[in-house]
Amino acid sequence: MTRRNYVHWLFAEMESPPEMSLYDELHRPQFHFSPKKNWMNDPNGLVYQDGVWHLFFQYNPESNIWGNMTWGHAVSDDLMHWQQVEHALHPDETGTMFSGCAIVDKENTAGFGKYALLFFYTAAGDYVDPRVPFTQCIAYSTDNGKQLTKYEGNPVVEWIAGTNRDPKVIWHEGSAHWIMALYLDKDRYCLLRSTDLKTWEQFQELRLEGDDECPDFFPLTDEAGEERWILWGASGIYKVGSFDGTEFTPDTQARVGEHGPAGYAAQTWSDTPDGRRIQISWMRDGIYPEMPFNHHMSTPVELTLAGSGNDVTLVRWPVPEVESVRAQSKSFDQQVVVAKKPYIVETEAKLLDVSFDISKQDSSSLYVIIRGQYMMFDWTKGQLSFIRSGLKSSLAESGVPIPAGDRLSVRMLIDKTSVEIFLNQGMVSASFNFLPGAYIDPLVIQSRDSEQTIDNLEVHELSSIWT
């Protein structure tokens, strides 16, 4: 039995009947996960077990606007092809089900069974009535996530401050404790520890300037072979530091790991094979007219560290599993793009994985026109921007910094209504949603005022994950 057949078999009885036009709608993302219908936001409960990647998510089962927060659930065998199954956590007397995480309890720490899946979530109390505060709770599953049972002793963390929420739990080998990162209020976060996953002690408060919500806390190894810990917030701001089980000590100032208005509330999977650190974001800021669904997830990316010491940077790069949806690939010889004469890339596809190297030379800017929408590389300002005329946004369209140097490598993942861009092998990354404008050719490259050279142009036309 193949892995995909195994996942299909495992959750077969949970599938709902197919709908005639499902996943073929005008603005439906074709290689990003989106729910069958209704509102979706933050990824939750990301965990891998027995060949199954679990993606839980904030979900409103009754409407395509925010509210009635429930945990939706999708599964995959390859991080790309997703199957939505039954909703997992429903509102109760403690409130709606806000964001959280999941882990595999390999040693039966909590007493629900060896290799049980444990889910940590925020019971969201009542925004209006402070007598029903936000608390942190757990649920568990002994059948690989098919059925979740809420713990009778909830909450496991009582109210601390504000609308404290979004627990993220990880095992720390050195101190032999489970560690929980928790958002408090404003830019305040805290760390708690436990030996049984039910009783928690707060031991440190932290700040992540300019960010709030949805913490992630995890280790990576830098290029010197040293273990470093990353504290990450909902807006993609992070710090790199050291952690000994009793204190997180930042070694860097707050930095931006994910640019652009779309990516938000990113989280990483726990218990991944081969120790991979894989992250996915909610692609907010996409409001598609008359679609049955609202919002989608990003392409999963793998995280690594470049550099060492204080000169260390978080690198984000699409998982190699993206190659599984490549349908046709083309490579092109060196192209010289001259001023005001567009270079038309030879493709008619709407789903693309495109990469190239650009030599800036003396030009002030380069335009990449994606299905009628302009992405501008402003060499003078050192910023990238995406001019999205088809989509109105309440979010700031701040420029994305372009790494210094005369040459830049670019990779773009283009879906029907989104583009994710990775510069210099993921040293800088950003994501944008858009609605296509009028166009003849789906991908055009144009120099503004003098010639520029494009090398190593590769165009991979992608297939739909829904077919």
Check: CB of residue 45 under 8 Å from CB of residue 98: no
Check: CB of residue 84 under 8 Å from CB of residue 36: yes
Q: How many degrees, rounded to 5, is the angle at CA 55 between CA 125 and CA 410?
A: 115
The Cα 375–Cα 396 span in angstroms is 16
**211 carries an active-site annotation:** no
The partner residues of 116 in beta bridges, in order of sequence, read 105
Spot the catalytic one: 24, 42, 143, 357.
Answer: 42
What DSSP string runs through 49-84?
A: ETTEEEEEEEEETT-SSS-S-EEEEEEESSSSSEEE
Q: Which residues contact 47 (CB under 8 A, 6 or more apart)?
A: 54, 101, 102, 103, 104, 117, 145, 269, 270, 271
Dihedral, CA atoms, 212, 213, 216, 222, nearest 10 degrees? -20
Check: CB of residue 115 under 8 Å from CB of residue 106: yes
Residue 128 structure tokens:
């209006």
3-state secondary structure of 143: coil
CB atoms within 10 A of CB 175: 14
The Cα 298–Cα 189 span in angstroms is 25
Q: Which residues are catalytic?
A: 42
